[in-house]
Amino acid sequence: MNSRPKKIVCIGAGYVGGPTMAVIAARCPDVQVMVLDLNAERIAAWNSDNLPVFEPGLREIVRQVRGRNLHFHPQAQGVSALAEADVVFISVQTPTKTTGEGAGKASDLQYVEACALLIAEHARGHTIVVEKSTMPVRAAERIQQILSTTQAGSTFAVLSNPEFLAEGTAIRDLEHPDRVLIGGEDPAAVAALKSIYASWVSPEKILTTGLWSAELSKLAANAFLAQRVSSINSLSALCEKTGAEVSEVAKVVGADSRIGPKFLQASVGFGGSCFQKDLLSLIYLCEHYALPEVAAYWQGVVDINEWQKRRFAEAVQQASVNRRVAVLGLAFKKDTNDFRESASLSVCRRLLQSGLEVIAYDPRVDGQRFAAELASPSHFSIATTAAQALAGAGAVAVLTEWDEFRSIPWATAKLSPGAVICDGRNIVDRLAVQQAGYGLRVIGSAVP
Ligand SMILES: NC(=O)c1ccc[n+]([C@@H]2O[C@H](COP(=O)([O-])OP(=O)(O)OC[C@H]3O[C@@H](n4cnc5c(N)ncnc54)[C@H](O)[C@@H]3O)[C@@H](O)[C@H]2O)c1
């Protein structure tokens, strides 16, 4: 095989597979990229103007390359492409297991294993199989084992190439990554994958390691990021008791060049499909390898996050002057339509459980899909504007840092008299709230 791959297939058209393949197709016009997914509805959306993933800049790139060298197909129709693929990315979900051994902590590899089986069945010749999904360390062993069952006489090299993009900035992160990581033991396969990224990433940013280091590095990176959030959130509670301002503390701490300012904003807690799942996976691995002290250390990061969400929900409950709470923001962060494991989900569930009525607004999240994740959605409704959500509310919970929530015209908001705004992101205009005569609670602040 020529060392530069010409045909790439990606299994999984989700938040990672779709944007990543779009950027590869845009930066490597000589490479044909096909994305497959079991979910035909999602594939249809990728082939429409209404993409299933919202990311700034994504639509423009997809429009530029779709039909040229980027193709989306339902798996059943596109599976034959595996026979000709030089490289196959596995980019399917690896959620926390809900049943069986390791339930509640270990990563569920059933989707990845199904991909490996499919590749074993359909690939021909030599194929580089790339773990793009986040995997527990040594998961590649399992993939290699499945691939070895092939009846077709095909050969495989397995690489780990975890993705570090963050939702909301996925295109920027893919186009200008801090680093690309390729882990593997087969130098020809590593060089082939490197040649793809080298089309737009400078060589010093393409890090190569052993397979196990690559798999563990992804879990470690997410654990470190989550740990920073829990560290500042733990101090936010102490700030509220003592009169210190968490934003001031974070600014001072982050000014130390050894620490840096990123991921030090106190908030209602981290969400998203990755941090908690990857922390739990790491904790499970530590327990599996009989390292209870290490497991306990990382468990503390998860526990603080749960506690932060819980105490915020309780504060909203206590603050509300009537039974109606306005929730601003359902996405787990701004600039994405993803609400998996969002702080909003957790807070809304608690508010509904305590008998409150919730009316929510988010500029991007599909409210019906969000409602389907709630156990008791009968007292949950969706507003089409922030003003509509706020009307008559006895408390407001600001749960996503969407820019539009920074400049809510509180003076004209028709909240219930004496209503309290609970700012879980520290973005609300404090003066405007005070002038409008409403109460204010801010995470990490004793003000007002
Ligand atoms: N979302 C992120 O920000 C992010 C960032 C870095 C890494 N990751 C990791 O990347 C992986 C994918 O995450 P995601 O957010 O894109 O998930 P996702 O749920 O958005 O997408 C996964 C897709 O895979 C499809 N799929 C599942 N099994 C399949 C199969 N056997 N054949 C074909 N298609 C199949 C699903 O239908 C779904 O569309 C996960 O391991 C995640 O931890 C995610």
Output the CA 235–ligand 1 centroid distance in Å: 34
User: Does 274 qualify as catalytic in the annotation?
Assistant: yes
CB-based contacts of 80, cutoff 8 Å, min separation 6: 122
CA terminus-to-terminus distance, the chain = 67
Output the CA 392–ligand 1 centroid distance in Å: 40
Output the CA 95–ligand 1 centroid distance in Å: 9
Whole-number pLDDT of residue 448: 58
Out of 274, 286, 348, 422, pick the active-site residue: 274
Whole-number pLDDT of residue 307: 98
* Mean pLDDT, range 125-152, rounded to an integer: 96
- For residue 16, pLDDT over 60 is answered with yes
Give the residue among 378, 340, 377, 382 at the shortest CA–CA distance from 360: 382
Ligand 1 close to Cβ of residue 11 (< 6 A): yes
* Mean pLDDT, range 13-39, rounded to an integer: 98
Whole-number pLDDT of residue 151: 86
Ligand 1 close to Cβ of residue 133 (< 6 A): yes
Atom from ligand 1 closest to the CA of residue 134 = 41
* Mean pLDDT, range 192-207, rounded to an integer: 98
**Is the pTM value of this prediction over 0.85?**
yes
Pocket test for ligand 1, best of 93, 278, 336 (most atoms within 8 A of CB): 93
Q: Is 398 left (phi over 0), alpha (psi -120 to 50) or beta?
A: beta
The first and second tokens of residue 324, run together, are 């109606």
Q: Could you give the domains of the chain?
A: 7-209 (3.40.50.720), 241-448 (3.40.50.720)
Query: Using CA atoms, how far apart are residues 82 and 396, in angstroms rounded to an integer?
Result: 51
Please provide the DSSP assignment of 394-432 as one string: SEEEE-S--GGGGG--GGG--PPTT-EEEESSS-S-HHH
Atom 21 (ligand 1) nearest CA: 14
Output the CA 31–ligand 1 centroid distance in Å: 22
Pocket test for ligand 1, best of 35, 37, 58 (most atoms within 8 A of CB): 37
